[in-house]
Structure 1
Amino acid sequence: MLVSLRKEISEEEFHRNFSSTKASHQTLLCFGLKEEDKTLWKLWGHAYNNPGQCHAEILVLREIENYLMTNIPNAAKYNITWFLSYSPCHSCCDKIINFFMNSQTKIEFNIKAAKPYQFSNDQNPKGIKMLNKLGILFKMMEYSDFEECFYLFVDPCTKFTAWPDLEAQSIANITLSHHLLGQEDNRLDIHLFPPDDCTPVHARSASHFEDQVLVDKIPPEDPNKTPYKKDEFLDIKAPQKTCFLSRTREHGKDVKRKLF
């Protein structure tokens, strides 16, 4: 089964795929769908891309479409949340836009990505920029997003332990994303830009800026490898599971899914 419904991922899977300081040769997508006025998700699960055949985004869109075709009369609006290990490529952005525009019900769509996927290819940022223009919210994940994803799809009763450099790499990814998409975020005042460097993306090449922000983070591409995903940046082991009872009591009631 390509899409695993109502099934959590392991802690090892989470850290292997979502770590912002590692690169995987696959994409993991954790998703949830709920009616706007409800708290529990009607549909949730995860999917990996099917190499050479179908991206994870397309597999999940098909599953959501099938659900909505049967359940459209049940709600006036649906909320969809995606946590992606990599940002969507331009082709997947086109598919998301088609789904969003052709949906027979109102949808609020939120996409959160752990790592940028080939932002040096101008078409990929352009696809994401179009998502935002149409009201599909896209962002690179920060600490709170990784924590939320962990509690929703791994274990709400285990403490989320950040891997080394999560904060630094997340800020670099977010800053790069905002630069390429022509956005501004006052929270990211980390002196990566000169005072007058607030011009749109076309004023400077993406590759030049990427070299500045992610210097020494991404090794050169190996021409003999499949160019889908980059090699691992660092060999960092997943943090060990620890008991976190206080977090369980405080956070468990906020989990927006139901196990079956």
Structure 2
Amino acid sequence: MLLSSGEKYRVTWYISWSPCFACVDEVVKFLREHKDVELIIFAARLYHSDILQYRQGLRKLHDAGVHVAIMSYYEFKHCLNDFVFHQGRSFCPWNDLNKNSKNLSNTLEDILQNQED
């Protein structure tokens, strides 16, 4: 991928699951090679947040300057409206979306702050 030198890029990446640890290495490598790219990741769910390698992968992204967050109502709605062929239907959140999003956000925050495992 050729990026224009001197240009700054801000990429927002919406994904269903947080990246696996193998993918994290590729993302971090790309960001090291392209210092002019800022990455924000919104994940709908945490992929194996109880497994050490995945937790370390999330911290590695964070340490590389990636803003990692859990999708909230706003991000889900934005994705549907801007990126999904929704045939004119409005976003209809499922039960407990806000509660689940908050719980996952708390789990992610704990992972990013806990450097012991």
1:161 matched residue in structure 2: 92
CA displacement at 1:135 relative to structure 2 = 1.1
Moved over 3 A (4+): 155-158
1:106 matched residue in structure 2: 36
5+ residue gaps, structure 2: none
CA displacement at 1:158 relative to structure 2 = 3.6
TM-score (norm 1): 0.41
Aligned residue-pair number: 116
Q: CA RMSD in A?
A: 2.1
1:93 matched residue in structure 2: 24
2:109 matched to 1:178? yes
1:127 matched residue in structure 2: 57
Q: Percent identity at matched positions?
A: 28
5+ residue gaps, structure 1: 1-64, 183-199, 206-260
Contact kept in structure 2, 1:150 and 1:156, CA below 8 Å = no
CA displacement at 1:166 relative to structure 2 = 0.9
| C-alpha distance 90-75 of structure 1, shift in aligned 2 (>3 A) | same
* Letter of the 1:172 counterpart: N
Which structure dedicates a bigger proportion of its chain to helix? Answer: 2
* Letter of the 1:181 counterpart: L
* Letter of the 2:79 counterpart: C
TM-score (norm 2): 0.87
- DSSP 3-state at the match of 2:95: coil
* Letter of the 2:7 counterpart: A
Distance 1:176 1:101 in 2: 27
CA displacement at 1:81 relative to structure 2 = 1.3
CA displacement at 1:125 relative to structure 2 = 1.5
